[in-house]
Amino acid sequence: MTEVSEVELAVGGMTCASCSSRIEKKLNRLEGVTASVNLATEKAKVSYADGVDVAQLIALVEKLGYTAEEIVPPPPEPGPAPGARAAAADGAPVPTTTADITEPDTLRQRLTVSAVLSLPVVLLAMVPALQFDNWQWLSLTLAAPVVVWGGLPFHRAAFTNLRHGAATMDTLVSVGTLAAFGWSLWALFAGDAGMPGMRHGFDFTASPGDGASTVYLEVASGVVTFILLGRWLEARAKRRAGSALRALLDLGAKDVTVLRHDGTEERIPVARLAVGDRFVVRPGETVATDGAVVEGVSAVDASMLTGESVPVDVGVGDAVTGATVNVSGRLVVRATRVGSDTRLARMARLVEDAQTGKARVQRLADRVAGVFVPVVLLIAVGTLGGWLAATDDVTAAFTAAVAVLIIACPCALGLATPTALMVGTGRGAQLGILIKGPEVLESTRRVDTVVLDKTGTVTTGRMEMEDAYTAGSAEGTDEKQLLRLAGALEHASEHPVARAVAAGAAERLGTAVGRLPTPQGFESVPGLGVRGTVDGHEVLAGRERLLAKAGVTDLDTLTPLREKAEAAGRTAVLVAWDGVARGVLTVADAVKETSPQAVRELRALGLTPVLLTGDNRAVADAVARAVGIAPEAVYAEVLPQDKVDVVARLRAEGRVVAMVGDGVNDAAALATADLGLAMGTGTDAAIEASDLTLVRGDLRVAADAIRLSRKTLATIKGNLFWAFGYNVAALPLAAAGLLNPMIAGAAMAFSSVFVVTNSLRLRAFS
């Protein structure tokens, strides 16, 4: 049987989607190799059979003109005993190369220097009043480092692509800027442009032969600066790749208190924890790893992992999961899984796999450039040859050829995406919407289904007291007394349900929680409720079993109230004092006031809302009814991996799915969906795994985010259309000698102004 191995490579030098697809295609042509290359994370995940080694894979990538390096996980720290395994390190993303970490900083430096040098060049060329004797030589001095050093990444990439018979935006930038710069050098040193007193202006009556006295340094330096701006924005987005994994792993505890056999405690790094070790989890601390409780009782908040809004009561023998939070009592836990075996680590792998397999939209400019650039080069060569054959005028021939190259130089194309993105994202930030990048926008146009997580997205994520009912047969019982006694007793408990009861009772009584009576003889009964004496009354609050064991009478009068509450998806707290059943308080994760309106707005956009939750069916159905989601569109009691399956199943049905969530349990599903939207009030893992972040935590913003994204995408496409339109319409004029290079530069400048102005219209979005 053929053994299959896997390796992850850090790939450097990719500048567009065609780069990643070229590498992926070449790797997959090797026998026994299956590869997936991710442009955003600059990584390649490769499975290979016997007969292929890592060195061969790296050599192939390097042969294509890119860099490749095997990503090796850091070795685990030595454990306290043989067999100990590292917990925190497994699965953690590793910085790929020094260039990967510093690229945004390098680009920023290159952009800053280029912008400072280009500004006076553009002003001198465009404003004749600023032109002094020999100004052109100052422009050359300033423009040369911009074209050579500032544009070096484009020239290098264009050369690499040329070696492999490919053409991209880099080819357009390099050829256009070098042509403009080269012609300017020729005009300065061999033509009349270097003469003192030369003036630069827009003479639309000039013939092609006048090009020998004209320089295009502002075109060369300006294009480089504008394109660098777009690349810097892209690099910033790439730098954040892998943050979802780090956010997931950061949830885990960093240190843990281990119990030794002699009863002493020792604080050690989590990485040294081994299977079988016993460790202490105090109230408010994070459970270090997956394990089983061997001592103590408590309530554990697992909402960050499971979506379950109500903390789970645990005692001896119960399983607990790493990264959950101990809410109340002290626990001693025996570790059962550590390192890559833990649930948290498996969730991290889910996010990574989902992100790696998620196709990135290839930019329209890159797709067209593959055909556009060779055509432009052929037109330029044909123009040169045609003019030489027809007129024998070398100056006119070169002037017309350069005009062809300059009119095709993609200044407006380079501005089309970043300007619309900057304006759109800036307006989005004002509205509480963060768009991660241009690759996100295409999905918003096609989305037809929106999957909504319940806890923290549709609901507040906080337990609140909803209703108070008194029992009909309990004479002398009124709601005020029920709230006072139950609220006072529950205030002594640390359980989230008890805190909700205490806060709700105090609010309805018009007092502060701290002003409620102090119970005497307070006792917490694990998994059942609490008991104690308040104002001389023996009070019990909790589940029906607690009251039944205490011999409370008239308990059957509370049964219909309890059943009604549970049918509505709420937690029922039964209250009795002095041996008599008195009433029922209901607690629930309340629906946000804005959620019903948000669902209506999403429907208005043509989207079908779906509710997805780890909570039980009754709770899910109640929330769906409250916000207007159809019963058949409700998925309840789903684990994190099941959420991924639900999203994948919807996509398999032909739907284009958007996912809105806020917890770690949503991170993998957010990455799997065609469009991920994270509530900004949620976890870093969810935010980093998503495509859009809703800062305000208001579900209505999800509809705004989709509308803004669609508008921004439409603007980008409009920009690209007009940018290409100017070039394509002017190319025949340039080839015919009816457009000298200066007019070509003016047309290019106008197209850039149009693109920027069109993008600025997004500022009016509301």
Active site residues: 453
Show Cβ contacts of residue 202 under 8 Å, excluding neighbours closer than 6 positions: 742, 743, 746
Are 569 and 577 within 8 A, CB to CB?
Answer: no
Produce one character per residue of 312-331: b if its CB has 16 or more CB atoms within 10 Å, e if not: bbbeeebebbbbbbbbbbeb
The structure tokens listed for 83 are: 């067999």
If 0-12 CB within 10 Å is exposed, 13-18 middle and 19+ buried, where does residue 194 land? middle
Three-state secondary-structure class, residue 139: helix
Picking from 144, 150, 138, 141, the residue whose alpha carbon sits closest to that of residue 113 is 150
From CA 46, how far away is CA 32, in angstroms rounded?
Answer: 10
Q: Tokens 């800027």 belong to which residue?
A: 177
Number of residues that this document lists for the chain: 766
Q: In what order do the strands lie in the sheet with 319-320?
A: 265-269, 255-259, 278-281, 331-337, 290-295, 319-320
User: Which residue in this structure is represented by tokens 């309840």?
Assistant: 636
Q: Rounded to whole angstroms, how far apart are CA atoms 742 and 419?
A: 25
Q: CB–CB of 627/591 below 8 Å?
A: yes
Tokens of 761: 């219209």
Residue 184's Cβ-side half-sphere holds a number of Cα atoms within 13 Å equal to 28
SS3 label, residue 478: coil
Q: DSSP letter for 457, please.
A: I
Query: How far are the Cα atoms of 422, 569, 637 from residue 496, in angstroms, in the given order?
Result: 43, 17, 21
Q: Residue 677: beta bridge partners?
A: 660, 692
Query: Which tokens hold the place of 490?
Result: 């529950």
Q: Using an 8 Å Cβ cutoff, are 531 and 539 in contact?
A: yes
In sequence order, the β-bridge partners of residue 589 are 463
Residue whose pair of structure tokens reads 């885990």 in the numeric block: 252
Coil vs helix vs strand at 505: helix
Q: Is the dihedral of CA 69, 73, 78, 81 positive or negative?
A: negative
Q: Specify the amino acid at residue 31.
A: E
Residue 339's contacts (CB-CB under 8 Å, 6 or more residues apart) are 76, 85, 86, 87, 89, 90, 345
Task: From 168, 181, 185, 170, select the one nearest 221 (Cα to Cα).
Answer: 181
Measured CA distances, 579 to 520, 549, 575 (Å): 17, 11, 10
Buried b (16+ CB within 10 A) or exposed e, 438-450: bbbbbbbeebebb
Instruction: State the DSSP code for 454.
Output: I
Where are any strands of DSSP class E within 380-536? Answer: 433-435, 449-453, 459-470, 520-525, 529-534
Query: What residue has token string 């935590």?
Result: 697
Instruction: Report the C-alpha gap between 755 and 723 in whole angstroms.
Output: 7
Q: Could you give phi then psi for residue 196, rounded to 5 degrees? A: -60, 140
